[in-house]
Structure 1
Amino acid sequence: MTGRPRITIITGAASGIGRAVSNLLAGRGERVIGVDLNGADIAADLADDAVRAKLATHLLTELPQIDAVISCAGVSLPDDGARTVSVNFFGATRLLTRLLPRLTEAPAPRVVVISSIASLFPPDRELVDCCLADDEARARLIGARDGNKAYASSKRALTQWIRRTATGADFAGRGVLLNGIAPGTIKTAMANPILANPEGRAMLAKAVPIALGDYADPGEIAPLIAFLASADNRFMVGQVPFVDGGSDVLLRGDEPL
């Protein structure tokens, strides 16, 4: 690596995909600033907008430059749909909006947001619309009403936000390449309890079928994220590729859209 190492902010950096991509980038000599509830460089609860604002101010003050932001923080809490919505959608979009001015100063700014195969599941359309209207208070109320749909709906909203935002004047128009990925079932703390017993594994295989023999480890997802967050990614804009062992194809068939 020549010149100054890239500086990347990663939310959800203490575990799962976030930790895997943090380790990958740090191993390449890049400077990684990890954010999580605990176990990372910075402790922050992204469900709280006041905390997001404070975090953004701290990052903007302390860092000389921000080359990339990777939003990995996410939760699935059927008993707390309000928190699920706040972390998954607003924890990404509100923080990114606040960091955007500094990103535009970097020579090759990149943003990667983690969506999910669950974005294909039937959403609560009202919840999705509230997210896309940036109405967090209303979205939290709807999420609390049906926590089981909050995860899929927040991820559907996130995917739509990426696609409708990435090509606009604030992102692509200022050289900031915004993309996402949609992982399938990954061996993380969220999925491991289900994968640990035959009944849960069978239920998961029915809801999210897979063409391969096993599910991915977080480290197998990290290289794609690292590419999207790098200066080597020159022309991918607004894309949310599925990284799912074939689940998207099995669920939707051969139609590309």
Structure 2
Amino acid sequence: MSTNTPRTTLITGAASGMGAALSRHLTALGERVIGVDLSNADICADLADPVQRAGLFARVQQITPSVDAVVACAGVSPPVAGDTLVSVNYFGVADLLPRLLPLLHRASQPRAVVISSLASLHPVDTRLVEMCLDGDEFAAREQAAKIGAQCYASSKRALAQWIRRTAVLPGWADQGVLLNGIAPGIVKTPMVAPLLETAEGREALAAGVPTAVRDYASAEQIVPLLAFLASAANGYMVGQVPFADGGADVLLRGEAAL
């Protein structure tokens, strides 16, 4: 494949937020985007539904025989119910991306990128994290429905660990599929908007995600990192989850690099 051939990128959560911003960015570069979302997308699917996730490979293959990159942007947060949240945030990635590997293997420089979160540093329910990593969606959904506020952080912690675990498994980096993630802090997307509209919400965000910069990020400010990781220019990063958080990681964990 010529390096000048436009790449084809599959983006979940493509109808809003960071997924929509990345779609606009790649389209402006002349690349092909296949969007997946609940509605207003090339493929409409509910990633909380295992049956619909299982059917996505065939639906994508009807559009293209291969994809150069998959970028998993789809995600939800409270007040979405915990069982739905864990199915979208974790299994909507960890179950879906391996199903799409054959499409990535047909590309010359395949990449996969996953959006985790700065929230992965917050306190988590270790049982839920373990259930996710064990691939037990039924048990994870039951546990998530019980634990309340820790569900979001737990799903993102499990996702960050899944990225590092999976990136070096056979069929991934050894076949040229470089899997990485990013961990944003607060990004001004529709998911966060309700919290930003109230003083109580803003106080809660500031307490959990302190920043060293003056404002929270726009989706467009996160896009260049996503686009690089999904591109052929990224030729050596494997299993990394860099923070794009306005300094929140440093403020929460100090100068320790690990």
Q: Shorter chain as normaliser: what TM range? A: over 0.9
Measure the CA separation in 1 of the matches of 2:149 and 2:84: 12
1:132 aligns with 2:143: no
Letter in 1 for 2:76: V
Q: Distance in 1 between matches of 2:71 and 2:21?
A: 12
Q: Does 1:146 align with 2:147?
A: yes
- After superposition, the Cα gap between the structure-2 partners of 1:79 and 1:2, relative to the gap in structure 1 and judged at 3 Å, is closer
CA-to-partner distance for each residue in 1:181-218, whole Å, 9 max, x for gaps? 00000101121111122332122112211000000000
- How much has 1:39 moved relative to structure 2? 1.5
Inter-CA distance 210–99: structure 2 relative to 1 (3 Å threshold): same
- TM-score by length of structure 1 reads 0.97
Please state if 1:99 is matched with 2:103.
no
Q: Which residue of 2 aligns with 1:227?
A: 228
Matches within 5 A, 1:56-135: 56-78=57-79, 80-135=81-136
Distance 1:61 1:215, change over 3 A: same
| Alpha-carbon distance in structure 1 between the residues aligned to 2:176 and 2:200 | 48
CA contact (8 A) 1:60 1:99 kept: no
CA drift at 1:40: 1.4
Query: RMSD value over aligned CA atoms?
Result: 1.2
Partner SS for 2:36: strand
Q: What is the letter of the counterpart of residue 96 of structure 1?
A: L
**Residues 243, 249 of structure 2: 8 Å contact kept:** yes
Q: Distance in 2 between matches of 1:88 and 1:123?
A: 15
1:181 aligned to 2:182? Answer: yes
1:53-83 CA deviation, whole Å, 9 max, x = no partner? 1122111243121100000000013451000
Match of 1:202 in 2: 203
**Does the Cα contact within 8 Å between 1:78 and 1:150 map onto a contact in 2?**
no
CA–CA distance in 1 between the matches of 2:28 and 2:214?
29
- Cα distance in 1 for partners of 2:57, 2:149 equals 30
Paired with 1:62 and 1:95, the residues of 2 have a C-alpha distance of 17
| 2:43–2:59 CA contact under 8 A, matched in 1 | no
Deviations 1:70-110 (A, max 9, x none): 00000013451000000000011111111102211211000
Q: Distance in 1 between matches of 2:138 and 2:34?
A: 29
Distance in 1 between residues matched to 2:223 and 2:121, nearest whole Å? 22
CA distance in 2, matches of 1:78, 1:131: 20
- Cα contact 2:73–2:114 (8 A) shared by 1: yes
Q: Larger deviation: 51-60 or 81-90?
A: 51-60
1:2 Cα deviation after fit: 6.0
Q: Is the 8 A contact 1:52 1:91 kept in 2?
A: yes
Does structure 2 conserve the Cα–Cα contact (< 8 Å) formed by 1:78 and 1:147?
Answer: no
The verdict on how the C-alpha distance between 1:48 and 1:30 changes in structure 2, with shifts beyond 3 A counting, is same
- Other-structure match for 1:5: 6
Q: For structure 1, which segment, 221-230 or 90-99, has the greater mean C-alpha deviation from structure 2 after superposition? A: 90-99
Report the TM-score when normalising by structure 2: 0.97
Q: Is the 8 A contact 2:11 2:36 kept in 1?
A: yes
Count of aligned pairs between the two proteins:
257
